[in-house]
Amino acid sequence: MKNILAFAGSNSSVSINQQLLENITGRIQGHNIEMIKLTDYPLPIYSRDIEVNEGIPENVKKIKELIDSHDALVIAVNEHNGASSAFFKNNIDWLSRLKRNFLEGKQILLFSTSPGKRGAKSSLEYSRGIFVRFGGRVVESFSFPSFRDNFQEGKVINEVLDMGIDDVLTTFAHQIEI
């Protein structure tokens, strides 16, 4: 049994990525899952001046401790105008200043969604590349398109997408057991 940390990269109180995250983590069986909200760990916008004059914020250290105490991660990345949100990127920027390879040894299930047909693929691809740079291993990823057409009342209503998520979860579960 592995310990899995799950969070979304959004700071929206009505985040569709958070909604999908809750659905996906609810399907993972046989592992301990801890879900956090990054908004519970507020951070200033990264600035070299803040880092030099005030040091690394305590919330960065708390997030890093949470990452360190888990075997694997499930991360939902959102997208703003074809890129990762400033909120999520800011968290990554601070974590990388604390320790360059802050994801070292972590296996990651990465997914994204958006109201559009691309399902936040640009942010997903960016995050996939950046997580590897910081020592993580993206085991599996999934882009969920047209959220409002395919997800209602906490459930995936598109059968093909639902089966796709099941396949991704099966692969992820197998990989984290190796």
Q: Are 73 and 109 in contact (CB under 8 A)?
A: yes
CA distance 164 to 169: 9
The CATH number of the domain holding residue 143 is 3.40.50.360
Q: What is the pLDDT of residues 42-101, one digit of tens each?
A: 999 999 999 999 999 999 999 999 999 999 999 999 999 888 999 999 999 999 999 999
DSSP SS3 for 22: helix
Determine the structural domain holding residue 119 and report its residue range.
Answer: 3-177
Q: How far is CA 74 from CA 19, 32, 127, in A?
A: 13, 12, 12
Both ends of the chain: CA-CA distance in Å?
Answer: 11
- What is the number of domains present in the chain? 1
pLDDT at 38: 98
Q: What is the pLDDT of residues 115-168, one digit of tens each?
A: 999 999 999 999 999 999 999 999 999 999 999 999 999 999 999 999 999 999
Q: Are 40 and 78 in contact (CB under 8 A)?
A: no
pLDDT at 112: 96
Per-residue pLDDT band at 4 (split at 50, 70, 90): very high
